[in-house]
Chains A and B, each alone.
Chain A
Amino acid sequence: AQTVTQSQPEMSVQEAETVTLSCTYDTSESDYYLFWYKQPPSRQMILVIRQEAYKQQNATENRFSVNFQKAAKSFSLKISDSQLGDAAMYFCAYKGDRGSTLGRLYFGRGTQLTVWP
């Protein structure tokens, strides 16, 4: 099975600063998708950003961007100009594109982000 590793259980950042959350994954597939989800205290799962593995260009969504390193199997999330509302649990996730992993979504264990005023 594919594994997704988030090596930072907790991170903190000062408001307006930049923080990077790490994610690595293990796969033998060449086509797949990667996601970052945010879970605030409300428990709602919110999609932050997604990346197709066949795209070399890193995805960006406003203050959120990723650093996708396919050869290194690394998919980090950078949050710029951090805001208090960014405080949440962040999950990295992997989805295969064919075969037995087509319907599967694998999550990391999460990184709890605290934002200090």
Chain B
Amino acid sequence: EAQVTQNPRYLITVTGKKLTVTCSQNMNHEYMSWYRQDPGLGLRQIYYSMNVEVTDKGDVPEGYKVSRKEKRNFPLILESPSPNQTSLYFCASRTTGQIGKLFFGSGTQLSVL
């Protein structure tokens, strides 16, 4: 089954404790991206990757890191999480075709205390 898998689905952590949210897709998609969703703000793009070893900043990259060493994986790293990073996070992927359908993961609800 074609899918984007995010883990964990829920995470509670404390300020400053490094964490990684994993994202993996099995569709051989070139493009992958991370978004955060906050009430009243919609989804905002954090980082995206057009292919392996190619990453670019979105609208809200501060406090986040990503890497794309393999085509299927695109982890999101919070080196020193802060309470303002409490949010719902989505990973997504698609082909680089002009109107390639975006496949979303199931989301990760992160709470930073």
Contacts and interface: CB of A to CB of B under 8 A. Distances in A.
Interface in B56-113: 56, 58-59, 88, 90, 92, 98-99, 101-102, 104, 106-107
B99 A103 contact: no
A105 B45 contact: yes
A33 B99 contact: yes
A104 B104 contact: no
A43 B106 contact: yes
B87 to A, nearest CB: 12
B24 interface: no
Given A33-B99, A43-B88, A43-B107, A104 B48 contact: yes
B52 interface: no
Contact of B102 (A6, A47, A106): A47
B37 to A, nearest CB: 8
Contacts of B50: 102-103
Given A33-B99, A43-B107, A50-B99, A103 B56 contact: yes
Contacts of A107: 35, 42-44
A98 to B, nearest CB: 10
A1 B42 CA distance: 16
Interface in A18-47: 33, 35, 43-45, 47
Interface residues of A, number: 24
Nearest to B59: A1
Contacts of A43: 88, 106-107
B101 A47 contact: yes
B33 interface: yes
Contacts of B102: 35, 45, 47, 105
Contact of B42 (A97, A104, A108): A108
B2 interface: no
Interface in B1-51: 31, 33, 35, 40-45, 48, 50
B42 A103 contact: no
10 contacts: A1-B59, A43-B106, A43-B107, A44-B107, A45-B104, A47-B101, A50-B99, A103-B48, A104-B48, A109-B40
